[in-house]
Amino acid sequence: MAQQQITTTDIPPGSRLAFIGGGNMARSLIGGLLHNGWPARNIVVSDPDPEQPARLYQLDPDLSVINDNEAAVATADVVVFAVKPQILQMVCRELADTLQQSRPLVLSIAAGIRSTDIERWCGGDLPIVRCMPNTPALVQSGATGLFANPKVSDAQRALAETLMRAVGTTVWVDDEPQLDAVTALSGSGPAYVFLVIEAMQAAGEKLGLADEVARLLAIETVFGAAKLALESPDSPATLRERVTSKGGTTERALEVLEAGGIRKLFEDALAAARKRAEELAEQLGKDQ
């Protein structure tokens, strides 16, 4: 999905962002924000990796890159937790006193950790927004599900949406468990599409196409179909019907896919992914 342009009116004057963790997703988000006009001088990144500063300064030399989480969040209006889920509890607990003093909006892009657990680890009574982006955010074409706890104000919701729009489209869910469905559909979804591309390429090669030809045709076909579905007012079902001529090649291929139970396979796959997301939330949310 296309990156959505941020206007200067979307950026609250002087808003200071602190990223805890400067890995791939954080750099993608920072790059999108910079591209859309967010001042680099208002962004600080804390990461212990000695190689991260060089990577981040490639985005903009005016970024502040440090190895001090407390200093990063002390004056921040928004704190973005961009660390691995397995260490989020430790990071939150270490920052709890500082967060209780500065009282920022907290965004978490750590997969699977519920907002109630994050809030508890941070000392309680903080506005928390959970974000479930997917890997196309790395090329500013992501899809992100968002959930806000009751302490998030309307202005903070708008700010969180502005931030995540820098890497693609955003959708809000009203109930946090729906983020497990978002995880199953769009969070894990790119892997499903890569599998389809992989399978199409392999099938094309078996039909005699050269490896690179089959690969290019498979990728461009998926890209073109997705672009058409995104830009068309018609449903995917209508678009499918429109390219399926009676008695033609497409109809014959679709008959094989339907006979193989493709719809039930996706239904079962997403249900399994959602169940695993629920299991991980229970596991990772336990106090250590």
- Please report the domains of the chain, with CATH numbers, ordered by start residue: 8-178 (3.40.50.720), 189-276 (1.10.3730.10)
The residues with which 105 forms a beta bridge, in sequence order, are 78
The residues with which 285 forms a beta bridge, in sequence order, are none
For β-strands 128-132 and 142-148, DSSP reports them as antiparallel
pLDDT confidence of residue 14: 58
What average pLDDT does this structure show over 160-172?
95
Residue-wise pLDDT tens digits, 231-250: 999 999 999 999 999 999 99
What average pLDDT does this structure show over 22-36?
93
- Give dist(CA 88, CA 96) in Å, integer: 12
- Give dist(CA 266, CA 28) in Å, integer: 29
- Give dist(CA 11, CA 52) in Å, integer: 26
Residue in the block written with tokens 């973005």: 80
Indicate if the pLDDT at residue 3 is higher than 70.
Answer: no
What average pLDDT does this structure show over 258-283?
96
Q: In what order do the strands lie in the sheet with 17-20?
A: 64-66, 43-46, 17-20, 78-81, 105-108, 128-132, 142-148, 168-172
Indicate if the pLDDT at residue 11 is higher than 70.
Answer: no
User: What is the pLDDT confidence band of residue 90, given thresholds at 50, 70 and 90?
Assistant: very high
pLDDT confidence of residue 7: 43
User: What is the pLDDT confidence band of residue 1, given thresholds at 50, 70 and 90?
Assistant: very low
The residues with which 169 forms a beta bridge, in sequence order, are 143
Indicate if the pLDDT at residue 83 is higher than 60.
Answer: yes
Q: In this structure, what token pair is assigned to residue 126?
A: 């903080």
Indicate if the pLDDT at residue 288 is higher than 70.
Answer: yes
What average pLDDT does this structure show over 32-52?
93
Q: What's the number of CA atoms in the CB half-sphere (13 Å) around residue 220? A: 6
pLDDT confidence of residue 62: 94
Residue-wise pLDDT tens digits, 126-146: 999 999 999 999 999 999 999
Mean pLDDT score across all residues of the chain: 93
